[in-house]
Chains A and B, each alone.
Chain A
Amino acid sequence: MILYPAMLQNYLVVGAILFVLGMIGFLARRNLIIMFLSAEMMLQGVAVNLVAFAYYHGNMQGQAFTLFILTVAACEAGIALALILILFRSKRSLDVSLWQELREPGQEPTRDEEPLVPPPPALPLPRLTPAGIEPRPKEREESHV
């Protein structure tokens, strides 16, 4: 059986796409949790690359490297979530743009010009019209009331 190098290229392409999607998410999204997930996805893309190289080189070094990536990702997850927690505690929001005061001096803050479109009001819950007649309580029950 021949191991085609063309198949190695397939894994590298998938890894590159995952990496770039994660980069888009990290740069463009404003929710701290989604930024964190995007960073994790970039690490997944790199892990795919390393495992593919390990497979096609026929040695274990790529897999060992991926294991260290996993370790660092676990540490990063813990610390990132702790940071998200204290950032949320102090601003009551996950929006990263609320921390613009950390920018360089002399930079203009970015302002959101376009107003948010409020969601359409929720439809009222359906209410059944009462039908029929209310049964009269029995005498024994009335005596209890």
Chain B
Amino acid sequence: MKEDNGFFHPSFLIPHPWCLRGQGFMMLGALSPWADHVWRVALPAALGLVAVYLLLPRPRPMLRVAGIALAFLAVVAAGFVLLHTSGRPVYDTLFYFFAFVAVVSGGMLVTHRDPVHAALSFALVVLSTCGLFLIMAAPFLMAATIIVYAGAIIVTFLFVIMLAQQQGLSDADSRSREPFLTTVACFVLLPTLLYIILQTYDTGQPLQQVVARATRAQDEKFNTVPAVVEASGGAGLLEDYRKALLALRWTPNAEEYQNQVNGPVNNLKAQWAAGEKAGNVKTLKNILADVQANGTKVLEGYAKLTPPPGSQVSQLSVPSKELHLLYPGETVAPLGRSLFTDYLIAVELAGTLLLVATIGTIAIAGRRTEGLR
């Protein structure tokens, strides 16, 4: 692994819970391997939702400054605790920028009492989401989203100017419906979502750290046994390696997987103890190289998220190369092929749906409304 992504991560500045866990810092972390996710999830979610609760429109605004400060804190905390960097600075900068703009303008859409501002922040949400699409090699979707939503936003603007600007102060804009209950409901939903996401997809991180440590300790300058042991962490590294491999949880067959991991790692541990006793630097370095090579292999396979063997996936929706190896413009043709082979009926139905929706809209909007009163 060439990039050492410990450096670009914000945990470079603030200790990341993963770093602290081994030192028994987190009391809950000792109870369950996943309990430290609870704090990573609950802190930003609680801050953000309290901020939204304070900022929702009311006849008498509550603590606006405190709300804005809490919202800022929540965004920063989420960026530090929940997100990771890939070690590619340009990519990471773009991602952080678009994600920040999307989340902040989403918050403004929800909390601003002026509908004109809400429509403007919705435009920002759509634009920054389109930026995220472009990062993820989806240029056609980016263009389509901008075109569709540009129309939608212009029409919404017309509506806002036509309907909402006639009276200055209205019940609709300066009151909220049940802000407390809403925030509580969302506080149930958001941490649950984030917790499940972290539990499922955050598992590669410890293995990356182990591989980075093993790579670092193979350096030429560590040429004595104590130096290598100190640089790598010694037998602790192998124990972390075992835990990281087990945490990946690839297979539904947990016991078999545990045996597959434990056997080779125990073997490596025995070799390490022997090498350390004999004072043989070369043995230790060979073990580290083994850890590095195997860990990188596992990470590569893991990152591809390939469907399990035996599952039936249409080959017409799979581009000839991996998506991240293609130039963004090259992903348009595979999308077209997928739409007009695998999803042909769905495309036709979508066209029909648009036609029916157009007719329905005209029928609804053109109707006289005296009977409705």
Residue of B nearest to A68 (CB): B350
Min C-beta distance of B2 to chain A, whole Å: 9
Indicate if B324 sits at the interface (CB-CB under 8 A).
yes
A8-32 contacts to B, CB under 8 A, are 8-14, 16-25, 27-32
Q: Which of A87-109 contact B (CB under 8 A)?
A: 88-90, 93-97
Using an 8 Å CB-CB cutoff, how does the interface string of A44-79 with B read, 1 for contact, 0 for none? 100110011011111111011011101111111111
Q: Which residues of A have CB within 8 Å of B56? A: 24, 28-29
The answer to whether B318 and A93 touch across the interface, beta carbons within 8 angstroms, is no
Which among B218-226, B262-270, B277-285, B360-368 touches the partner chain? B360-368
The answer to whether B141 and A66 touch across the interface, beta carbons within 8 angstroms, is yes
Question: Nearest Cβ in chain B — how far from A60, in angstroms?
Answer: 4
| Cα–Cα, bound, A74→B358 (Å) | 10
CA distance A94 to B119 in the complex (A): 15
CB of A72 to closest CB in B, whole Å: 7
Q: Which residue of A lies closest to B168 (CB)?
A: A119
Of the A-B pairs whose beta carbons lie under 8 Å apart in the complex, a sample of 22, sorted by A's number, is A5-B204, A7-B86, A18-B103, A20-B190, A24-B186, A27-B178, A31-B164, A33-B156, A34-B109, A37-B118, A44-B129, A56-B304, A63-B335, A63-B338, A75-B357, A77-B152, A77-B155, A78-B358, A82-B362, A86-B369, A94-B164, A95-B172
Contacts of A67 in B (CB 8 A): 141, 144, 335, 339, 350
Chain B: interface residue count, which band? 35 or more
Nearest residue in B to A21 (C-beta to C-beta)?
A: B106
Q: Report if A125 contacts B (CB, 8 A).
A: no
Q: Contact mask B158-201 → A, CB, 8 Å, 1/0?
A: 01100110011111111111110011011001100110011001
| Distance to closest chain B CB from A41 (angstroms) | 6
Binding site for B on A (CB under 8 A): 1-14, 16-25, 27-34, 36-38, 40-41, 44, 47-48, 51-52, 54-61, 63-64, 66-68, 70-79, 81-86, 88-90, 93-97, 110, 112, 114-119
B159 touches A85 (CB 8 A): yes
Contacts of B357 in A (CB 8 A): 74-76, 78-79
A88 close to B163 (CB less than 8 A): yes
Tell me which residues across on chain B come within 8 A of A24, comparing CB atoms: 52, 56, 110, 182-183, 186
Contacts of A14 in B (CB 8 A): 99, 102-103, 132
Complex CA distance for A17 and B1, rounded to whole angstroms: 32
Closest to B83 in A: A10
Q: A6-B86, A17-B190 in contact; A27/B177 too (CB < 8 A)?
A: yes
Q: Which residues of B contact A90 (CB under 8 A)?
A: 369, 372-373
Bound-state CA distance A1–B306 (Å) is 17
Complex CA gap A116/B57 in Å reads 11
A30 touches B175 (CB 8 A): yes
- The answer to whether A21 and B198 have CB atoms under 8 Å apart is no
Residue in A closest to B5 when the chains form the complex, CB atoms:
A4
Contacts of B354 in A (CB 8 A): 71, 74-75
Q: Which secondary structure dominates where chain A touches chain B?
A: helix
Residue of B nearest to A55 (CB): B136
With a CB–CB cut-off of 8 A, which chain B residues contact A3?
A: 303-304, 322, 324
User: Are B198 and A28 in contact (CB-based, < 8 A)?
Assistant: no
CB atoms of A17 and B106 under 8 A apart: yes
Among candidates B194, B338, B369, residue contacting A16 with C-beta atoms closer than 8 Å: B194
Question: Are the C-beta atoms of B163 and A28 separated by less than 8 Å?
Answer: no
Name B48's closest neighbour in chain A (CB-CB): A17
Residues of the A chain whose Cβ atoms lie less than 8 Å from the Cβ of B169? 116, 118-119
Shortest C-beta distance, A118 to chain B (Å), equals 7
Residue contact A59 to B313, C-beta cutoff 8 Å: yes
Residue contact B110 to A29, C-beta cutoff 8 Å: yes
Say whether A17 contacts B145, CB under 8 Å: no
* CB pair B324 A1 closer than 8 Å: yes
Check if A5 sits within 8 Å of B305, measured CB to CB. Answer: yes
* Residues B360 and A79 in contact, CB atoms below 8 Å apart: yes
Which residues on B sit within 8 Å (CB–CB) of A76? 357
In the complex, chain B residues whose CB is within 8 Å of the CB of A112 = 171, 175
Q: How far is the CB of B290 from chain A (nearest CB, A)?
A: 18
Q: A2-B1, A31-B164, A74-B148 are in contact. Are A9 and B198 (CB under 8 A)?
A: yes
B residues in contact with A25, CB < 8 Å: 109-110
User: Shortest CB–CB separation between residue A40 and chain B, in angstroms?
Assistant: 7
Complex-state Cα separation, A3 to B102, whole angstroms: 23
* A16 touching B190 in the complex, CB below 8 Å, given contacts A4-B84, A48-B132: yes
Is B303 touching A82 in the complex (CB atoms < 8 A)? Answer: no
B95: CB under 8 A from chain A? yes
